[in-house]
Chains A and B, each alone.
Chain A
Amino acid sequence: MNIDHTILTVLILVPLAGAVLLALLPDKGRLMQWGALAVTLITFICTLHLPARYDYSAVAGSFQFEQNHEWINSPAIRYHLGVDGLSMWLVVLTGFLAPLGVLVSWNTIGDRKKLFYTLFLLQQVAMIGIFVSLDLFLYYAFWELSLVPMTLLIATFGRSANRRRAAIKYFLYTFIPSAILLVGMLWVYARTGTFQLPELAQLAAAHNISSNNAALWLASLAFLVAFAVKVPVFPLHGWLTDAITEAPTAAVMVLVGKLGLYSILRFSFSIFPEQSRHIAPLMIALGAIGIVYGALIALVQKDLKQLAAYGALGHVSVVVLGIFTFTIAGIDGGIYATLNEGIGAGAFFILLGILYERYGTYDMRDYGGLAAKLPWMVTLFVITTLSVIGLPMLNGFVGEFLVLTGGMQSAVTHHTRWTVLATTGVILTASYMLWMIQRVFYGDLNENTADVPVPDVTAREHLALWPLIAVMLFMGIASPYWLRAIDTAGTYLAQEPQPIELPAAISTIVPQTSAAQEATK
C-alpha cells in the first residue's frame, strides 16, 4: 500500500501514540527524555516524506496526500486530511522544532517529566492536526486540543509565581474567541450542510454561502478574531507577554504565530474571500502598527523574555501585513516569514533559555561582558540576531523583503504609507536586538554574573541550535526550494477566487443534509 495515502494520519498518530506510551511508562532516569526524543525524531522523519513526495506541478488549489473518509453521517463530519503548499512546510517545521524542544528541556524540566513530555507531544498532535485538517469540525477539535496542553504547560512549568495568572490569561484570551469561532463554524455548516473546506471554498467563490451580508460579516469576524488572538494581532496581544515570560522554552517555541496565521490564510481567506478583502486595509494598518509598536516597546524592555515577546509581536505583524495585501509577493513572503518566525524565534528562545539555565535571570541589568567568557554563546546569539533583523543571505530577509514588496505593490496609496511605516521596523528591530547583544555580552563584566562559573554552550545545546542555524542559512540562500510549493499556494490565494463550473460534481459530493435542503427551499 502506498504510504502517500496514510502519511498524514501517521503524522498525527505517531506523537499521539508516543504521548500514550510515555504516560504509561514509569518516570525513571532519563527514560522520558529519550522516549520523547525518539518519538519526535520519528515524527520529524515522517514529515520529511511530504516534501520528498510532493508534486510541485500540481494545480493550485488542490490538496495532496489527501485522505477523505466518512466519519459521522449526520452531522456530516468527514475525516478529511490533506496538505498543499501553504501547510506542507508548516507541518515539516512542526516536526523539526519538536526534537529541538525536547533537547532544550532535557535538564530544565526536572520534576513531573512525564506530565511535561506527554503534554508536549499532545501539543504536537494538535498542531499537526490543525495544519492537515480539511474538515472544519475536525480542525476545530485539534484547535481546541492545542489550547489545553499549552495552558497546562504554562500553569505547571512556568518559571515564577505568576504562572497561574499567565495561564488563565492565555486560556481566557484564546478560549472565548474559540467558542465564538465554533458558533461561526456551525452557522457556516447550517447554511451549507458541509464542513469540507474545498467545497466551502467553491461555494464562497460562487457567493453561495449566504445572501445575508450581515450574517456573513459576523461569521467572518468570528473566524478572524479567534485567529487574530491566537497570532496575536495588535492590539489583541494581551496574553502574549505573560505567557511567553512564564512558559518553558519548549512551549514558547511553538506558542506564537503559525497556528493563527495559517488559519487566517486557510479558513478566513477561503470561506470569506470578500470579507477578508474588505477588512484588509484595517489588517494592513494593524500589521504595520504592530511592527513598529512591538519593536518600540522591545526597545525599552529590561527583561530578555519581554523583549523577545514584543519582538515576536513585531514579527508576526510582518506576516499579517503581508498576507492582507493580497499580492503574490505579500502572501508568499507572509508564509515564508511564518516559517522564519518559527526558526528565528525558536533559536532565540532556546538561547535565552540556556542563558537562564546558567544564570537564573532574564534581567539584562544583571548581564554584561559575557562575550569573552562564552564565545560560542555570543556567536550563536549574533547569528540568530542577524536572522531576526533580516540580514540578507539569512532566512529572515527573504520573507521580510517579499512582504514589504507586496505591501508596496498594492495599488492603494494608503497601503504605500503603511508599508513605509512598516519598513521603519528594519531600523527599530536592529536597534533593540543589537542593544540587547551589547548589554548582555559586551562592555564590562557585571558583578551579578561575573563570578558564576558556567560552561559555554554544551554539546547537547549545540545539537539543538546548529540545525536551526543551518536552516537559517539555507532558507536565506536557497529560498526557491521552499518557495516553489509556497508560491503555488500564494498565487492561488492572491487571486480573486473563481468559482469552478462543476454543478453536477458538487451536488454529488456535498452530502445534502436536511438542514441544507431546508435552507434551499
Chain B
Amino acid sequence: MPSASMISDYLWLIPLVPFAGFLINGTVGRKFPRPLVSAVALLCTALPAAIVAWLWIVMKADGAPEVLRVVSQPWIAITGLQIDFALTVDHLTLIMLGVVTGVGFLIHVYSVGYMAHEEGYWRFFAYLNLFMFFMLVLVLAESFLLLFVGWEGVGLASYLLIGFYFQKDSAANAGKKAFIVNRIGDFGFLLAMFLLVREFGSLDFSHIFQAISVNPEWHGGILTAIALLLVLGAVGKSAQIPLYVWLPDAMEGPTPVSALIHAATMVTAGIYMVARCHVLFDRSPYALGVVAIIGAATAIFAACMGMVQHDIKRVLAYSTVSQLGYMFLACGVGAYTAGIFHLLTHAFFKALLFLSAGSVIHALSGEQDMRKMGGLRKRIPITFWTMTMGVFAIAGIPGWAGFFSKDEILYQAFVSTNPLGKLLWLVGLITAGMTAFYMFRLWFKTFFGPERFEEHTDLHDHGAAVHTHSGSHAVMVVDPEDNHAHGVHESPAVMTVPLAILALLSIIGGWVGIPAAMGGHNEIEHFLGPVFSTGAIAEAATTTASRGLELGLATVSVLVVAIGFFFAFVFYYKKPGTAAALAAKMPALYNLVAHKFYIDEVYSALIVSPLLMFSRLFLGGIIDGGIVNGSGAAAGATTRGFSSLVRRVQSGNIRSYAGWLALGAAAVLLVMIFGRSIWMH
C-alpha cells in the first residue's frame, strides 16, 4: 500500500518532468525528427499524469491525510521573511492536477496530429511542456509567491504560444496584448502580496489562513483591500470585465493552445486562486460581492458578443469568458464547490469544443468563418458527434455535464445571502438561454444547412492555412512530400480519439455532482468538503423544501435553454435569413454588439493613446528634452572655455590627463588648507 510519505518524494516530479521536456525539446528539439519531439513531449506529460493518478489513489485511501506538504529549499530568505519552494496537495489541488494533467495530456496527443505539418513543431511542443510546468507549479504551490511563479509563467507560455505564428502581425500583437493585460492584473496580485507580507510576515497559505482562522474577529478592512487586489489579479488571468479583452485576441494561437490554455486550464487559474483563498474572501463580504457582480456581468456581456461572432473560435472564446463569469459568480456567492465543479466540467466540454472546432478547421483547410461552413455533419461525422456532445454539455441539456454544474451555480446564487442574489440568479439564467442560443447557432451553421464552403483541392496545408486565412501572407514552408490533394476530410485517429474521450467526459463528468435533490450524492461536494469546510453544512441544508426549490429552478433553466435552442433552430435552420433580417432592422444595436461594444477602441482612445501622447510630448519632450537635458546643455554652453580643455582630454593625450590629476590634487590641497577654517566653529 503506497503511503502518503512515500509519494511526497515524487511530488516535485509532477512539475519538473514537463520542465525537462521543455529543456530537451527547446534546446536540441530543432534537430530531432518529429516523432521524437512528440515522444518526448508526450512522455513528459504522461508521467506527471501517472503520478497524479497514483497521488489520487493515495489521497482517497482511508486514513490518508487531507493535506500533503513538501518543503524543499528556501527560495528567498532574508531577516523577517522566508519563502520556500514548498508544495501542498489537498483535494482541491487534486482536482486541478487531474484536469491539468489529464486534459493536458489529451491535448498533447491531439496536437501531434493537428500540428503535424507545421514548421516549428519542436518549438510548439517545447512551449506546451513549459506551460504544463508552470501550470502545475501554480496549482501545487504552497505560498502566494510560488503560485505567482506559476501565474506569471503560464502567462509567458501563453505569450509565446499565442505569438507562435510570429510573422503575422496580428499574432504578435495578440501575444503582447495578452501579456500586458495580464500584467495589469499581476499589478494587483503583487500589491496584495506586499500587503500580506506587511500584515502577516509570510506568504505561506497555511500560515496566513491559520492566522485568519484563529482570529474570528478579523473582518473587512485590510482583508478587503487584499482580497480586492487579488480579485484584480484573477480578473486579468480569468478574462473578466474589464480585462477580458485579451482572450478573444488570443485565438490567434494554434487551436490546441486555445483549448488547453485559453479554455481548460490557465484561464481558470483566477477561479482556483479565489477558491484557494476562500478563508480570506469569506471575511470580506464586500470583496465577495464584487466577485459575484463581476462574474454575472461578464457572463451576460460576453454571451451577448458571442451571439454575433462569425469566427468559430471567437464564438468559443466569448463563451469561455462567459463561462468563467459563471465560475466567478459561484465563488462570489461563496459556493466555491460549485465554482470548482463548473471549472471541472467546463475543462472537459470547452476543451472538447475547441478541439472539435480545430478538427472542423482542419477539415476545411483553415477556414474559421462559419458563414463559409454548413452541412458538415455528413462529411466529418466523428467531429460532428463529438462536437454535439460538447454543445449539449455547455448548453445545459439535462444529463450532460454542464447542466449539473451550471444549475448548481444558479441555485447557489438564488439561495445566497447576497442581497442581489435573486438578480444574480436572473442574469445567470438569461445567460444560460443566450448560451444555448449561440452554441446551437454555431452547431446549425457549421453542421447543417447547405454547404457554403469551397471544396479545397489545393495542397494539404491546413496548418499554414490556419494562420493565413485572414489574408496576410503565406509564411510557413510545408513539407513538399506531404502535398496530396484532397477535399473536406475527417481528422486522423490521433485527433479523433482524444475528441471521443473528451466527449465521454463531457457527458459523465457532471455525474460526480448530481445534487441530492435529483437523487445523486453530490460526490464533489463531499470530496471538497475538507477544503471548503462545507460538507456538513450542505448536507444539513438539504431539506425537503430546498429540494423542491432546487428542482423548480432546474426546471426553469431547462425551459430557458429550450427557448434558446428554439430561436437558434428557427434563425439558423428553419428559416435562415431571419437573423440577418432582424439585424438589418436594428443596425445600430447590431453594429454595437458586432463591434464588441467598441471596448478595444475605447481603451485605446482613453488610455493607451493619451498615455503615449503624454509620454512622448510632455515627459519626453518638455521634461526630458527641455528641462533635464536642456539644463545640462545650458551648463555645457556656459563652460565653453572648459570644454576646450575637455577636448584635449578626449584626444586621448595622457599628458593632459596627468595635468588633470595634478590640478585635482592641487585643488584638494587648497581646500584642505583653507577649507578647514570655513567650517570650524
Interface residues of A (CB under 8 A from B): 75, 112, 115, 144, 148, 151-152, 155-156, 164-165, 167-169, 171-173, 179, 182-183, 186-187, 189-191, 211-212, 215, 235, 237-239, 241-242, 293, 296-297, 299-301, 328-329, 332, 369, 371-372, 375, 386, 391-393, 398, 401-402, 404-405, 407-409, 419-420, 423-424, 426-427, 430-431, 434-435, 438, 441-444, 477-480, 483-484, 487, 490-491, 515, 518-519
CB atoms of A332 and B78 under 8 A apart:
yes
Q: Which 8 A-B pairs have the closest CB atoms?
A: A155-B650, A238-B632, A408-B194, A442-B172, A296-B615, A392-B149, A300-B616, A442-B166
As a 0/1 sequence over residues 649 to 681 of chain B, the CB contacts with chain A under 8 angstroms (1 = contact) are 110100001001100100110011001101111
CB atoms of A297 and B624 under 8 A apart:
yes
CB atoms of A239 and B632 under 8 A apart:
yes
19 A-B contact pairs sorted by A residue (CB < 8 Å): A75-B672, A152-B650, A152-B657, A172-B635, A186-B672, A189-B672, A241-B629, A296-B615, A296-B619, A328-B79, A392-B148, A405-B193, A426-B183, A426-B186, A427-B180, A444-B473, A480-B73, A483-B78, A487-B79
Tell me, in angstroms, the Cα distance from A419 to B193 when the chains sit together: 13
Interface residues of B (CB under 8 A from A): 30, 73-81, 145, 148-149, 152-153, 156, 159, 163, 166-169, 172-173, 176, 179-180, 183-184, 186-187, 190-191, 193-195, 197-198, 473, 611-612, 614-616, 619-620, 623-624, 627-629, 631-633, 635-636, 639, 642-643, 646-647, 649-650, 652, 657, 660-661, 664, 667-668, 671-672, 675-676, 678-681
Tell me, in angstroms, the Cα distance from A379 to B172 when the chains sit together: 15
CB atoms of A419 and B194 under 8 A apart:
yes
Partner of A427, one of B145, B184, B679, B681: B184
A379 to chain B, nearest CB (A): 9
Partner of B167, one of A296, A372, A435: A372
Tell me, in angstroms, the Cα distance from A148 to B664 when the chains sit together: 12
Residues of A contacting B668 with CB < 8 Å? Answer: 182, 186
CB atoms of A371 and B646 under 8 A apart:
no
Considering only CB atoms, which chain A residue lies closest to B173 in the complex?
Answer: A438
CB atoms of B172 and A409 under 8 A apart:
no
CB atoms of B76 and A398 under 8 A apart:
yes
Residues of B contacting A187 with CB < 8 Å? Answer: 675, 678-679
Q: A167-B650, A169-B633, A490-B79 are in contact. List 6 more A-B contacts (CB 8 A).
A: A187-B678, A371-B166, A405-B81, A408-B195, A408-B197, A477-B75
CB atoms of B76 and A401 under 8 A apart:
yes
A422 to chain B, nearest CB (A): 10
CB atoms of A423 and B190 under 8 A apart:
yes
Considering only CB atoms, which chain B residue lies closest to A112 in the complex?
Answer: B652
A429 to chain B, nearest CB (A): 9
Residues of A contacting B678 with CB < 8 Å? Answer: 187
The CB with the most chain B CB atoms within 10 A, among A156, A238, A490, is that of: A238
Residues of B contacting A169 with CB < 8 Å? Answer: 632-633, 636
B648 to chain A, nearest CB (A): 10
Tell me, in angstroms, the Cα distance from A297 to B184 when the chains sit together: 19
Residues of A contacting B616 with CB < 8 Å? Answer: 300
CB atoms of B612 and A191 under 8 A apart:
no
CB atoms of B180 and A148 under 8 A apart:
no
Residues of B contacting A241 with CB < 8 Å? Answer: 629
A-B contact count (CB 8 A): 209
Q: A190-B680, A402-B78, A442-B169 are in contact. Are A144 and B636 (CB under 8 A)?
A: no
Q: A169-B632, A371-B166 are in contact. Are A155 and B649 (CB under 8 A)?
A: yes
Tell me, in angstroms, the Cα distance from A393 to B16 when the chains sit together: 14
Considering only CB atoms, which chain A residue lies closest to B475 in the complex?
Answer: A372
A189 to chain B, nearest CB (A): 8
CB atoms of B650 and A172 under 8 A apart:
no
CB atoms of B675 and A237 under 8 A apart:
no
CB atoms of A164 and B632 under 8 A apart:
no
Residues of B contacting A171 with CB < 8 Å? Answer: 646, 649
Q: A235-B628, A332-B78 are in contact. Are A405 and B675 (CB under 8 A)?
A: no
Residues of A contacting B80 with CB < 8 Å? Answer: 328-329
Residues of A contacting B184 with CB < 8 Å? Answer: 427
A235 to chain B, nearest CB (A): 5
Consensus secondary structure, chain A interface: helix
B161 to chain A, nearest CB (A): 13
Partner of A165, one of B153, B190, B636, B671: B636
Considering only CB atoms, which chain A residue lies closest to B473 in the complex?
Answer: A444
Residues of A contacting B615 with CB < 8 Å? Answer: 296-297, 299-300
CB atoms of B186 and A168 under 8 A apart:
no
Residues of B contacting A369 with CB < 8 Å? Answer: 167
CB atoms of A329 and B78 under 8 A apart:
yes
B481 to chain A, nearest CB (A): 22
CB atoms of B671 and A182 under 8 A apart:
yes
CB atoms of A392 and B676 under 8 A apart:
no
Residues of A contacting B168 with CB < 8 Å? Answer: 443
Residues of A contacting B643 with CB < 8 Å? Answer: 168
Partner of A183, one of B169, B631, B639, B671: B671
Residues of A contacting B611 with CB < 8 Å? Answer: 296, 299
Tell me, in angstroms, the Cα distance from A187 to B73 when the chains sit together: 49
Tell me, in angstroms, the Cα distance from A518 to B678 when the chains sit together: 14
Considering only CB atoms, which chain B residue lies closest to A425 in the complex?
Answer: B187
CB atoms of A190 and B76 under 8 A apart:
no
B659 to chain A, nearest CB (A): 11
Tell me, in angstroms, the Cα distance from A464 to B190 when the chains sit together: 33
Tell me, in angstroms, the Cα distance from A182 to B623 when the chains sit together: 30
Considering only CB atoms, which chain B residue lies closest to A410 in the complex?
Answer: B198
Partner of A407, one of B153, B194, B647: B194
Partner of A438, one of B176, B629, B633: B176
CB atoms of A423 and B660 under 8 A apart:
no
Residues of B contacting A168 with CB < 8 Å? Answer: 636, 643, 646
Residues of B contacting A300 with CB < 8 Å? Answer: 612, 615-616, 620
Considering only CB atoms, which chain A residue lies closest to B195 in the complex?
Answer: A408
A112 to chain B, nearest CB (A): 7
Tell me, in angstroms, the Cα distance from A423 to B186 when the chains sit together: 10
Q: A393-B153, A408-B194 are in contact. Are A215 and B679 (CB under 8 A)?
A: yes
Residues of A contacting B197 with CB < 8 Å? Answer: 329, 405, 408-409
CB atoms of A238 and B631 under 8 A apart:
yes
Residues of A contacting B675 with CB < 8 Å? Answer: 183, 186-187, 190
CB atoms of A423 and B619 under 8 A apart:
no
Residues of B contacting A372 with CB < 8 Å? Answer: 167
Tell me, in angstroms, the Cα distance from A182 to B647 when the chains sit together: 24
B374 to chain A, nearest CB (A): 34
CB atoms of A235 and B627 under 8 A apart:
yes
B7 to chain A, nearest CB (A): 24
A439 to chain B, nearest CB (A): 9
Residues of B contacting A112 with CB < 8 Å? Answer: 652
CB atoms of A328 and B78 under 8 A apart:
yes
Tell me, in angstroms, the Cα distance from A402 to B152 when the chains sit together: 17
Tell me, in angstroms, the Cα distance from A155 to B648 when the chains sit together: 10
CB atoms of A172 and B636 under 8 A apart:
yes
Residues of B contacting A329 with CB < 8 Å? Answer: 78, 80-81, 197
Residues of A contacting B623 with CB < 8 Å? Answer: 235, 293
Q: A190-B679, A392-B152, A442-B169 are in contact. Are A435 and B78 (CB under 8 A)?
A: no
Considering only CB atoms, which chain A residue lies closest to B123 in the complex?
Answer: A375
The CB with the most chain A CB atoms within 10 A, among B197, B614, B623, B667, is that of: B197
Partner of B667, one of A182, A299, A426: A182
A482 to chain B, nearest CB (A): 11
Residues of B contacting A444 with CB < 8 Å? Answer: 167, 169, 473
CB atoms of A391 and B153 under 8 A apart:
yes
B562 to chain A, nearest CB (A): 45
Partner of B657, one of A148, A189, A375, A386: A148
CB atoms of B172 and A431 under 8 A apart:
no
CB atoms of B169 and A443 under 8 A apart:
yes
A475 to chain B, nearest CB (A): 11
CB atoms of A392 and B79 under 8 A apart:
no
Residues of A contacting B166 with CB < 8 Å? Answer: 371, 441-443
Considering only CB atoms, which chain B residue lies closest to A477 in the complex?
Answer: B75
Tell me, in angstroms, the Cα distance from A332 to B184 when the chains sit together: 26
A177 to chain B, nearest CB (A): 12
